[in-house]
Structure 1
Amino acid sequence: MADKKNLLLLFDRPNEPIFMEKGKAAVFDVPDKFLTDRYRPIGNEVQSRFGEKAEQRIPVRDIAVPDLRLPMSLPRDAQFSLFIPAHRRIAGRLIDIFMGVRSVDDLQSVAVYARDRVNPYLLIMHYLWHYFIDRTPKDLIYHPLHKIFPTNL
């Protein structure tokens, strides 16, 4: 079973690929199909290179990949705002995907899969929304937003 504290590592450097070191020398062991098209051909080399000095290896369960076409329609480098109706629809779809998850293991897997594909501002907003709505990660203490996106706040 996944440790809920591993969910906090998803907040660490949200613009970097998921296979890079997070927190204090922790690395997610990502299934090859979770890698983006850019990294899939070199998946083994990339994951072993960044995982050499890892003190903690976090296994990610290989699950059925969710349909992220709508959330991925917002470019990764775009700003996100709930005041824009299209962004609200995108956020609603992402919330539906995450709320359909049944366990912490599956939540971690879906979050890892989405992290390199979905706009980081949208994803962090969703993580925080999930924190306040869902009972699963209630005992976790999240980083303040000014530490996650220091250039934006």
Structure 2
Amino acid sequence: MGKSGLRLASAGFLAFALSLQLHPPFASAVARTPTYEVKAASFCQCGEYVRRYYSLTGEMAPSAKDMGPVLKRNGFKYVGHGIVPSKGDVAIWAANTGIAGAHGHIAVAASATWDSPGYVVKFKGANQGGSSTHLNCNNVNVRGNMGYDKAYYYRK
């Protein structure tokens, strides 16, 4: 194709593109396209992270140590204290246990593996020394050595 043929093809494409922009169905479709506000990830308390992780509904407890009834209301069952958890179990530590402060702590069991002389249990949660972003919380990590034997466990 010569230069004049290329110009004609380009001119034809430009005319076609302009006609799309002016054609009413395309104009109204563009006007109806929804826009979404994207919020920056933020610092989350541990209870807020677990709420997002499991899409918990209803009124939340004021402290992590008090989340047992919230979990039960959302279909979880209490399965024990100081047990080796299954992946996905929710762990709650009471206040001032050496793991948690005055409000306790809550996290999701990420893994439990045997490593003689005992289990290594890791928990995914917020406000436990992390800086990864998950579920729009920017302070998430997976952490071990949190005293799994001191936690109370709930399972869905």
* Pairwise TM-score range, normalised by the shorter structure: under 0.3
Higher strand share: 2
Higher helix share: 1
Higher RCO, 1 vs 2 (CA within 8 Å, ≥6 residues apart): 1
TM superposition score normalised by structure 2: 0.23
TM superposition score normalised by structure 1: 0.23
